[in-house]
Amino acid sequence: MESFVIEGGARLSGAVGVHGAKNAALPIMAATLLTGGTYVLENVPDLLDIRTMIDILAALGVQVRRQGERLFIDTSTLSSNVVPELLMSQMRSSIFLMGPLVARTGEAVLGYPGGCAIGSRPIDLHIEGLQKLNVNIHEYGGTILCRAPKLKGSTIVLDYPSVGATENIMMAAVLAEGTTRIVNAAREPEIQDLERFLNAMGARVRGAGTHAIVIEGVGALHPVERYRIIPDRIVAGTYLAAAAMTEGDVWIENVIPEHLEAVIDVVHKTGARIDVYADRLHVKGVRPYRAVHKLSTSPHPGFPTDMQPQLVAYLTMAEGTSVVMETVFDGRFRHIPELVKMGANIVVDYHTVVIRGPARLVGARVKATDLRAGASLVMAGLAAEGMTIVDGAHHVDRGYSDLETALCGLGARIERVPMKTLLAQ
């Protein structure tokens, strides 16, 4: 177990590059199972979740080799469709394997997925969607058994535009007989990236980025020799908020600005100066900055739930009262008591937080309970007076590759320390 030790107060400055998107890379890695062959994926970040997906693919007989930010994946050696329970429980994205495995082998055996502790995260929409494609699914004793002698296209209306369910259904439908329509599909940029990848494999998918995705099933697919994953919009958004919060002056490079519109808009409204270029952003923080009267997380193109904890950290130091509603996940406020320990004035009322600022944040020992909560505490530590210790660095490692090195490059004083060392002091 490791912790981040942060000496707050440095104004971030300089340039930082954004790595590939975890949430795009994970389903695309799963999609390589759809047909045997050698794939080269570029811009794949070296993160804990990606390593778990590599371990799962390896356990299924797939050969995966990393060279820098490239992954070489050979799925011709696939020898199993049983996903080991232990690996399954480590990451929610393991559920993506259901669609491709059943499409390729006619069967899949999985456990229930794990992942961040951010409220209840059922998989009913995944299961109902695949059932509509003619997959028989039985659940018993924590195991999900899927069988599909023949996948058949269908119209699937999602009750909620779930990102993962949309992706799972897309991956199964590409090899189904006939046409599949996903109504009320999620519109996230990662879904568009998956569509591009599937089409590069010979699939016929259109409509990603809208609420209606149409997939015409094809008889066969082929591997993709080279595919570049999109940049991570949440990592970019985290740097943006951290730069603004520390009154910094930072260039954020390798971004797709359209993917960040909602985040840019909110931080800009607080008073920060943000210049947008083709593939980079220039952020200049100001003090004091303003509160946001009302903000609600919602599916894309709304404000992303994955930026809510970082935005709440940012707003603790804004002048005035901010109100933030979390509408996507029901238990995503575990960063709040930790921010309060650092001096933030925040009250939680069911799905809403009321933040009164500006708070004078002071260093404290706090605990990351999930990935984005961890990022928000690191941000608060950067802006706080004195030393902050954020325990649970492994949560942050699930989504940020070598965060401390990137932040040190911007002048932050942050280091990673084994928790044992800290306990001995």
* Binding residues for ligand UD1 (CB under 6 A): 23, 26, 92-93, 120-126, 160, 162-165, 186, 190, 304-306, 328-329
Closest to 147 (Cα-Cα) out of 155, 139, 138, 136: 136
Looking up tokens 């066969």 gives 220
Q: What CA–CA distances, in Å, run from 56 to 25, 93, 374?
A: 14, 11, 25
- For residue 168, the minimal CB distance to ligand UD1 (Å) is 9
- For residue 210, the minimal CB distance to ligand UD1 (Å) is 16
- For residue 404, the minimal CB distance to ligand UD1 (Å) is 22
Pick the closer one to ligand UD1 by CB: 72 or 160: 160
What single letter denotes the amino acid at residue 8?
A: G
CA-CA distance, 73 to 97, in Å (whole number)?
Answer: 15
Helix (H) or strand (E) holding 25: helix 22-31
Residues contacting residue 410 through CB under 8 Å, at least 6 positions apart: 12, 13, 14, 16, 243, 248, 250
Pick the closer one to ligand UD1 by CB: 291 or 403: 403
Q: What CA–CA distances, in Å, run from 302 to 97, 266, 308, 327?
A: 27, 11, 12, 11
* Bond into 288 cis (ω within 30): yes
Pick the closer one to ligand UD1 by CB: 210 or 421: 210
Pick the closer one to ligand UD1 by CB: 5 or 146: 146
- For residue 22, the minimal CB distance to ligand UD1 (Å) is 7
- For residue 128, the minimal CB distance to ligand UD1 (Å) is 8
Pick the closer one to ligand UD1 by CB: 184 or 345: 184
Pick the closer one to ligand UD1 by CB: 129 or 285: 129
Residues contacting residue 405 through CB under 8 Å, at least 6 positions apart: none
- For residue 116, the minimal CB distance to ligand UD1 (Å) is 8
Within 174-319, residue ranges assigned H as helices are: 189-200, 233-245, 261-269, 308-315
- For residue 306, the minimal CB distance to ligand UD1 (Å) is 5
Pick the closer one to ligand UD1 by CB: 306 or 397: 306
- For residue 311, the minimal CB distance to ligand UD1 (Å) is 14
Residue 408 among the catalytic residues:
no
Catalytic residue selected from 12, 30, 116, 414: 116
CA-CA distance, 174 to 200, in Å (whole number)?
Answer: 12
Are residues 380 and 361 in contact, defined by beta-carbon separation less than 8 angstroms? yes
Pick the closer one to ligand UD1 by CB: 91 or 414: 91
Residues contacting residue 157 through CB under 8 Å, at least 6 positions apart: 183, 184
> What would the 3-class secondary structure string for 35-61 be?
CCCEEEEECCCCCHHHHHHHHHHHHCC
User: Where in 207-294 does DSSP place strands (E)?
Assistant: 212-216, 227-228, 249-253, 273-276, 280-284
Cα of first residue to Cα of last residue in the chain, in angstroms, is: 16
- Over its C-alpha atoms, the chain yields an Rg (Å, rounded) of 22
- Tokens for 198? 């599937």
Nearest residue (beta carbon) to ligand UD1? 164
298-332 per-residue burial string, b: 16 or more CB within 10 A, e: under 16: bbbeebbbbbbbbbbbbbbbbebebbbbbebbeeb
Q: 98-105 and 124-132 are packed helices; what angle lies between their axes, rounded to 10 degrees?
A: 30
Catalytic residues: 116
